Amino acid sequence: MRLLKEIIQEILESYPAEQRFSLPAMQDMQRRLGYVPREGLEATSARLGRPLSALYAMASFYKALSLKPKGKYVIRLCDGTACHLKGEPLLLSSLRGELGIGAGETTADGLFSLETVNCLGSCSIAPAMMIGDKYYGKVTPGSLSALIASYRKEAAG
Amino acid sequence: MEIRINGTSYPAEAGEFVLNVARRNLIPIPTLCHHDGLPEQGCCRLCLVEIGEGSRSRIVTACVYPVSEGLEVRTDTEEVAAIRRQNLALLRLRAPEAERVRQLCAYYHVPEDSRFEAMSGERCVMCGLCARACAVLGTGAISTVNRGVIKKVAPPYEEAPVSCIGCGSCAEVCPTKAIPVEQTRETREIWGRTFKMAKCSRCGEPYTTEEAARHAAGIAGLDDAGFCPDCRSRRVGEVMRGVYGR
Ligand code: FES
Ligand code: FES
């Protein structure tokens, strides 16, 4: 794996050194590294001459940006009204049993991160969730644990 | 141009906000997030007033509402008072330790609201003036971080900020004294850092931190750093006397 520093440098150099590109640069870091590392914010601050606090404000504001490394598979469990009523709390507790983590946490092996979100726009298939960029609907504790197992397998093989 | 506030006409300049005109004419409008020296934040929602006529009337924030010819403003209608009480009640739940909020609540007779739990020990009303002042006068060492109920004012990574110069602008502009500062003749402690005080080279009084004095001199491009504000104006007075005096 290439050095973190090099990747950050490459991302920053792909944009002109202007304030308006700080968010796109952070989004690129999130995409390529799975998070926005402190080194990344510091390098952006130095390159753009913006205070670190201004960048940290943005990075901590947007849910799409994470300051800590995310797992390989990010699970977004919908806790919107429809999904909540259709059994999201049950799914959340079975995920806790399955993975040993709660919302906002990442498994020790770095495989899964769990987030609850407000509505995935898929209320007709509630309770809904996403793993990575795939959608899953009408999820039950049973289908959930089969899903997790299949992702574990995918990661292993 | 002229605008009317509570039925009386007052002169106003294009580009001014309703609050500016009201303040100039001593018409009371409560505010928390307004500071004369900084851009408007428009977030405390205490400066609400009613504008317009009849069914066209509506409630706006005076601090960011631009004046226009013939604008009708009312600062004391029953509706304004009711919303103000509501907002103050919420601010008191947010910052129960804020003296200024408590005073305002007493002054405007805000009844207790037991529907929600008050945040414990909180003084900050999240107006963001401190971060604004830091960006304008200081070095941008602090900002608002996070979002929603966990939003707060903090340095990056919530560590003692390396770029802080201890100027104290943040604490100075805070309407509710929410930023702790410990100060003696020798040192000032703020945001988890300790700064050495700079002493006026004329009267020997501490007037700011050494870092802040250097920073200010750098911005102003002056060499008169080393004087406290009092001695600086005294010196200007002496220079003037030398120029214009006998
Ligand atoms: S509430 Fe879950 S998809 Fe809308
Ligand atoms: S003073 Fe106008 S919103 Fe705070």
In a domain, B191, yes or no: yes
Q: Both B135 and B80 in a single domain?
A: no
- Please give the pLDDT value at position B246: 58
pLDDT range class, residue B224, cuts 50, 70, 90 = low
Taking residues B160-171, what's their average pLDDT? 95
Region for A77 from its dihedrals, namely left if φ exceeds 0, alpha if ψ lies in -120 to 50, beta otherwise:
beta
Please give the distance, rounded to the nearest whole angstrom, from the Cα atom of residue B200 to the centre of ligand 2: 37
Residue B122 lies in a domain: no
A122 lines ligand 1 (CB under 6 A): yes
A1 vs B139, residue with greater confidence? B139
Chain mean pLDDT for chain A:
93
At residue B201, does pLDDT exceed 90?
no
By residue range, what is the domain housing residue B189? Answer: 129-244
CATH number of the domain where residue B31 is located: 3.10.20.740
Nearest-angstrom CA–CA distance, A109 and B103: 53
Average pLDDT over residues B108-120: 91
Could you report the per-residue pLDDT of A3-60, keeping only the tens digit for each?
Answer: 899 999 999 999 999 999 999 999 999 989 989 999 999 999 999 999 999 999 999 9
**Does residue B119 lie within any of the structural domains?**
no
Kindly state whether residues B47 and B95 are assigned to the same domain: yes
Domains in chain B: how many in total?
2
A58, closest residue in chain B (CA to CA): B145
The β-bridge relationship of strands A73-78 and A112-117 is: parallel
Q: What ipTM describes this predicted complex?
A: 0.84
What is the rounded distance in angstroms from the CA atom of residue B201 to the CA atom of residue A139? 74
Residue B139: list chain A partners with CB under 8 A.
51
pLDDT of residue B54: 81
Ligand nearest to the CA of A136: 1
Domain ranges of chain A: 4-61, 73-156
Question: Looking at residue B225, what is its pLDDT?
Answer: 61
**Which of chain B's residues have a Cβ under 8 Å away from the Cβ of A41?**
156
**B135 inside domain:** yes
**Interchain CB contact of A38 with B (< 8 Å):** yes
Domain A73-156, CATH? 3.40.30.10
Average predicted confidence (pLDDT) for chain B:
93
In a domain, B116, yes or no: no
Mark whether B196 and B138 lie in a shared domain.
yes
Q: Domain end: B76, B107, B138, which one?
A: B107
pLDDT tier at B10, thresholds 50, 70, 90: very high
Task: Check whether residue B66 and residue B170 sit in a common domain.
Answer: no
pLDDT tens-place string over residues B21-78: 999 999 999 999 999 999 999 999 999 999 988 888 999 999 999 999 999 999 999 9
For the segment B189-199, the average pLDDT, to the nearest whole number, is 96
Residue B139: which of A38, A51, A60 has the nearest Cβ?
A51
Which has the closest alpha carbon to B129: B6, B227, B36?
B36
